[in-house]
Chains A and B, each alone.
Chain A
Amino acid sequence: MRISTPLIYTLGAEAIERQQVDLFETQQQIASGRRILTPSDDPVAAAQALNVTHAKDQTEQYSTNVNTATSALALNDSVLSQVTDLLQSVRTLAVNGGNASLNNNDRGSIATDIAGQLQQLIGLANSKDGNGGFLFSGFQVNTQPFVSTATGVLYNGDQGQLQLQVAPARALAISENGSATFEQVNNGNGIFVASAAATNGGSGVVSAGQVVSPSAMTGDTYQIQFSVAGGITTYDVIDTTTSSTVSTGNAYTDGAAIAVAGMQVTISGAPASGDQFTLAPSSHQSIFTTVQNLIATLQTQVSGASGAATVANGISTALQNLDQALETVLTTRAGIGARLRELDALAAGNDDRTTQYQQTLSQLQDLDYNKALSDFARQQLALEAAQKSFAHVSGLSLFNYL
Chain B
Amino acid sequence: MGTSIFGIGLSGLTAAQAGLLTTSHNISNVNTPNYSRQEVLQSTRFPQFTGAGFIGQGVNVDTVRRVYNDFLGAQLQQTQAGASQLDTYYTQLTQLDNLFGDPVSGLSPALSDFFAGVNAVASHPADVPARQTMLSSAQALVSRFQLLDGQLIEMRAGVNSQISSTVGTINADASGIAELNKRITLATAGAGAGEPPNDLLDQRDALLADLNHQIGATGVQQSDGSFNVYLSNGQALVVGEQSYRLAAIPDSNDPQNLQVGLQTASGVVAFRPSDLQGGALGGLFAYRDNVLGSAENQLGRIAATLAQSFNDQHQLGQDLNGQLGGNFFTMPQPQVQVSVLNTGSAALAVTITSADALTASDYRLQYDGANYTLTRLSDNTQQSFATLPQTVDGLQLSLGSGTPAAGDSFLIQPTRFAARDLAVAINDVSKIAAGAPIRTSIATANTGSGQISPGSVDASYPSAALASTVTLTYDGTTGKFSGFPATQAVTVTSGGTSTTYAAGTPVPYTAGATISFGGISIVISGTPANNDTFSITPNTGGAGDNRNAQLLAALGRQNVVANGSATLAGAYGQLVSFVGNTTRQAQVASDAQAKLLSQAQQAQQSISGVNLDEEAANLQRYQQAYQAAGKVMAIADSLFDTILGIAKG
Report yes or no: B439 in contact with A159, Cβ–Cβ below 8 A. Answer: yes
Of A6, A11, A163, A175, the contact of B30 (CB 8 Å cutoff)? A6
Q: Which residues of B contact A6 (CB under 8 A)?
A: 30-31, 605, 609-610
Q: Which residues of B contact A54 (CB under 8 A)?
A: 108, 111-112, 567, 569-570, 573
Q: Which residues of B contact A150 (CB under 8 A)?
A: none
Report yes or no: B446 in contact with A51, Cβ–Cβ below 8 A. Answer: no
Report yes or no: A1 in contact with B616, Cβ–Cβ below 8 A. Answer: no
Report yes or no: B108 in contact with A164, Cβ–Cβ below 8 A. Answer: no
A2 to B530, CA, bound (A): 107
Report yes or no: B620 in contact with A140, Cβ–Cβ below 8 A. Answer: no
A184 to B546, CA, bound (A): 24
A131 to B543, CA, bound (A): 13
Q: Which of A250-290 contact B (CB under 8 A)?
A: 281-284, 286
Q: Which residues of A contact B607 (CB under 8 A)?
A: 2
Check if B371 is an interface residue, CB within 8 A of chain A.
Answer: no
Of B115, B441, B545, B583, the contact of A179 (CB 8 Å cutoff)? B441
Q: Which residue of chain B is the closest to A186 with respect to CB atoms? A: B447
Interface bracket on B? 35 or more
Check if B224 is an interface residue, CB within 8 A of chain A.
Answer: no
A46 to B119, CA, bound (A): 27
Report yes or no: B119 in contact with A140, Cβ–Cβ below 8 A. Answer: no
A112 to B31, CA, bound (A): 113
Check if B116 is an interface residue, CB within 8 A of chain A.
Answer: yes
Name the distance in Å between B597's Cβ and chain A's nearest Cβ: 11
Check if B529 is an interface residue, CB within 8 A of chain A.
Answer: yes
Report yes or no: A7 in contact with B108, Cβ–Cβ below 8 A. Answer: no
Q: Which residue of chain A is the closest to B130 with respect to CB atoms? A: A131
Check if B394 is an interface residue, CB within 8 A of chain A.
Answer: no
Residues of B within 8 A of A (CB): 30-31, 37, 93-94, 97-98, 100-101, 103, 106, 108, 111-112, 115-116, 119, 122-127, 435, 439-442, 444-447, 454, 529-530, 537, 539, 541-547, 550, 553-554, 556-557, 567, 569-570, 572-574, 576-577, 579-581, 583-584, 587, 598, 601-602, 605-614, 616-617, 619-620
The B interface is mostly helix, strand or loop, or mixed, namely helix
Report yes or no: A61 in contact with B116, Cβ–Cβ below 8 A. Answer: yes
Q: Report if A61-B441 is in contact (Cβ < 8 Å); known contacts: A6-B610, A53-B108.
A: no
1/0 per residue A143-165: CB within 8 Å of B? 10000000000000011111111
Name the distance in Å between A361's Cβ and chain B's nearest Cβ: 10
A44 to B577, CA, bound (A): 7
Check if A124 is an interface residue, CB within 8 A of chain B.
Answer: no
Q: Which residues of B contact A42 (CB under 8 A)?
A: 580
Report yes or no: A402 in contact with B446, Cβ–Cβ below 8 A. Answer: no
A10 to B604, CA, bound (A): 14
Interface bracket on A? 35 or more
Of A40, A137, A158, the contact of B441 (CB 8 Å cutoff)? A158
Q: Report if A281-B601 is in contact (Cβ < 8 Å); known contacts: A38-B98, A61-B116.
A: no
A398 to B545, CA, bound (A): 91
Report yes or no: B554 in contact with A165, Cβ–Cβ below 8 A. Answer: yes
Report yes or no: A162 in contact with B569, Cβ–Cβ below 8 A. Answer: no
Of A38, A133, A171, A183, the contact of B126 (CB 8 Å cutoff)? A133
Q: Which residue of chain A is the closest to B442 with respect to CB atoms? A: A159
A7 to B33, CA, bound (A): 11
Q: Report if A284-B446 is in contact (Cβ < 8 Å); known contacts: A38-B97, A39-B100, A131-B124.
A: yes
Report yes or no: B124 in contact with A51, Cβ–Cβ below 8 A. Answer: no
Q: Report if A402-B620 is in contact (Cβ < 8 Å); known contacts: A39-B101, A39-B576, A219-B529.
A: yes
Report yes or no: A65 in contact with B557, Cβ–Cβ below 8 A. Answer: no
Closest 10 CB pairs of A and B: A4-B609, A39-B580, A141-B544, A43-B580, A38-B101, A40-B583, A47-B577, A139-B542, A139-B545, A398-B616
Report yes or no: A2 in contact with B122, Cβ–Cβ below 8 A. Answer: no
A268 to B539, CA, bound (A): 51
Of B106, B539, B557, B602, the contact of A139 (CB 8 Å cutoff)? B539
Q: List 22 A-B contacts (CB under 8 A).
A: A6-B610, A7-B601, A38-B98, A38-B583, A39-B97, A40-B581, A46-B577, A50-B573, A53-B108, A61-B115, A131-B127, A133-B126, A143-B541, A162-B545, A162-B546, A175-B544, A281-B529, A283-B446, A286-B444, A397-B616, A398-B616, A402-B619
Report yes or no: A163 in contact with B546, Cβ–Cβ below 8 A. Answer: yes
Q: Which residues of B contact A398 (CB under 8 A)?
A: 612-613, 616-617
Q: Which residues of A contact B581 (CB under 8 A)?
A: 40, 43
Residues of A within 8 A of B (CB): 1-7, 10-11, 14, 36-44, 46-47, 49-51, 53-54, 57-58, 61, 64-65, 68, 131, 133, 137-143, 158-165, 168, 171, 175, 179, 183-184, 219, 281-284, 286, 365, 397-399, 402
Q: Which residue of chain B is the closest to A281 with respect to CB atoms? A: B447
Q: Report if A139-B544 is in contact (Cβ < 8 Å); known contacts: A43-B577, A398-B613.
A: yes
Q: Report if A51-B529 is in contact (Cβ < 8 Å); known contacts: A40-B580, A139-B541, A160-B542.
A: no
Report yes or no: A57 in contact with B112, Cβ–Cβ below 8 A. Answer: yes
Q: Report if A140-B543 is in contact (Cβ < 8 Å); known contacts: A131-B127, A399-B612.
A: yes
Contacts A61-B119, A133-B544, A162-B546 known; list 9 others, CB within 8 Å: A3-B609, A5-B610, A57-B116, A140-B541, A140-B542, A158-B439, A159-B439, A160-B542, A284-B444
Report yes or no: B557 in contact with A168, Cβ–Cβ below 8 A. Answer: yes
Name the distance in Å between A50's Cβ and chain B's nearest Cβ: 4
Q: Which residues of B contact A36 (CB under 8 A)?
A: 101
Q: Which residues of A contact B93 (CB under 8 A)?
A: 40
A90 to B608, CA, bound (A): 111
Report yes or no: A164 in contact with B569, Cβ–Cβ below 8 A. Answer: no
